[in-house]
Copies of this chain bind each other. A is one copy, B any other.
Amino acid sequence: MSVIAEGKLKLLDAALKLIPRSRSLTSLGLRELAREAGLNPNTFYRHFSGIEDFGLFVLEHVAKEVKQQVRLLRKTAASQGQATQDTVGFVFGYFLKNPAVVHVALQELHGASPRLRQAMRDQLDASAREMAEDVMERGLAPGLAPDAVHEISRNTIRHVLMRGFDYIECPAQRDAIQAETERFILRQFVGAIAEQEAPDIMARLQQRG
């Protein structure tokens, strides 16, 4: 036991292959999947009760892979002094090699299945927590309240995911997108620190609320 059946893996691969075309995962046809996997449609039922069940399985698999990448990223970042642009570059590079990750994430995050949405949210929150920890441990945001770091991390994760989509889609603008994303991240941290420590700037914007 504990070894995953061949057909189950084939269905997973088929899904990852089909997602860039059809997006939503929940809208993937069961027969379509089986066809792509070279299996009989009924094999699907040997492993999953329905499409949503299958979706959770796919999500779980993707999440595992992403976590592994994050761990790798943190390791290399800890050894050498890693800059924001290197990190963003690493992530976008990963997205480019695994577009299905981005597609499925964005799709299910706003998709029709509440269970898949929740699973995606949980996954993104976990990534955000990991990022926040990393930022704090490495002292990258000196003097910033932990709550603020967590909030910024959550915003950043989502934003990077969205821009990752653009990055995949618009090859001609990749440098610009990466630069914008880096500015975005930096601005959030700078803004949060200035909120605490530069009352003059805050005073000037006060009329906005």
Contact = CB atoms under 8 A, between A and B. Distances in A.
A205 B186 contact: yes
Question: For the complex, would chain A's binding face be called helix, strand, loop or mixed by DSSP majority?
Answer: helix
A198 interface: yes
B194 A140 contact: no
A159 B24 CA distance: 21
Contacts of A117: 169
Interface stretch (A47-55, A57-65, A79-87): A79-87
Interface string A103-114: 100110011100
Q: How many copies does the complex hold?
A: 2
A155 interface: yes
- The list of the 3 closest CB pairs from A to B, nearest first, reads A83-B209, A191-B191, A187-B191
Contacts of A107: 110
Contacts of A190: 190-191, 194-195, 198, 201-202, 205
Nearest to A22: B112
Contacts of A103: 110
Contact of A159 (B140, B141, B155): B155
B182 A155 contact: no
17 contacts: A22-B112, A23-B24, A23-B112, A83-B207, A83-B208, A84-B209, A182-B209, A186-B205, A187-B192, A190-B191, A190-B201, A191-B191, A191-B192, A193-B205, A194-B201, A197-B201, A198-B201
Q: Interface residues of A toward B: which range?
A: 35 or more
Nearest to A88: B209
Given A141-B205, A155-B184, 14 more contacts: A23-B110, A84-B209, A103-B110, A107-B110, A117-B169, A142-B204, A186-B191, A187-B191, A187-B192, A187-B195, A189-B191, A190-B201, A193-B205, A197-B201
A151 interface: yes
Nearest to A23: B112
A13 interface: no
A183 interface: yes
